[in-house]
Amino acid sequence: MAHRVIPSFDRLAFVASDTEEAQEAHKRLVELYGHAEPEDADVIITLGGDGLMLTTLHAFMNTDKPIYGMNRGSVGFLMNEFRYDALRERLANSVVTAIHPLIMTAVDAAGTSHAARAINEVSLLRQTYQAAKLRIAIDGKVRLEELICDGVMVATPTGSTAYNLSAHGPILPIHAPLLALTPISPFRPRRWRGALMPNRCTVVIEVLETEKRPVSAAADFTEIRDVVKVTVREDHKQRSLILFDRDHNWDERILAEQFRY
């Protein structure tokens, strides 16, 4: 993760979800600040929830266009507070962070290799009523010979507050050089609750008893069915840029989330 200075906020592009609330905000903000096409803009403003932010971060990966979200959705953990006023001033005072995605390489039962990137997480999930049976290796060393579960995921700091949190995985500060390996409903070993790994690690997950216990793999919203082997690592050569208000940044949200009860 790295910080950089954004030189200008003259040309703003607005992207909104399909909800009435987001569309109304889009119309008013264009009236107030004008609208540039995304390819010509200095910054892209997303109006919606975390799903729209995730889609936009994927779409503008490696363009060095910063993405600033304002919450017009439900959860909005990746979004800033919505306000009409002083937008350019907020942008000028915001903090930019570079997010590096995961790269998933999944081999299916036919031997075909598929590649996809994930900003939040790569997850493996059982496809039928049978629990998945998995073997997990990190940097070439098998760490878990057999995990019987509904699934398992590798989550980034950005994704640690999404599916990972719902599966009782740890919340990670956005600048932490870590990945979370989190099981989903583990049956055996019953007490294993996951692991934290340096983000330089490569995780290989093999599916055992593939015909009896089929498994799918998903990198954010790209799903591959009937996988037999999945390799996950952070792709340091790729990045997306996200902006947070300085007075309500990611670190503050992480702390607040951990003290919810």
| Helix, strand, coil percentages, rounded to 5, for the chain | 20, 40, 40
- The angle at the Cα of 248, spanning 75 to 35, to the nearest 5 degrees, equals 75
Task: Spell out the residues 6+ positions from residue 87 whose beta carbon is closer than 8 angstroms to its own.
Answer: 12, 29, 32, 33, 45
> 214: closest CA among 201, 199, 225?
225
Alpha helices in the chain (DSSP H): 20-33, 50-59, 87-92, 163-166, 250-258
How many angstroms from the chain centroid is the CA of residue 192?
24
Look up 50 and say whether it is catalytic.
yes
Catalytic residue among 10, 18, 42, 50: 50
125 close to 168: Cβ distance less than 8 angstroms: no
Collapsing DSSP states into helix, strand and coil, what is residue 68? Answer: strand
117 close to 106: Cβ distance less than 8 angstroms: no
Q: Rounded CA gap, 57 and 118, in Å?
A: 10
Active site residues: 50
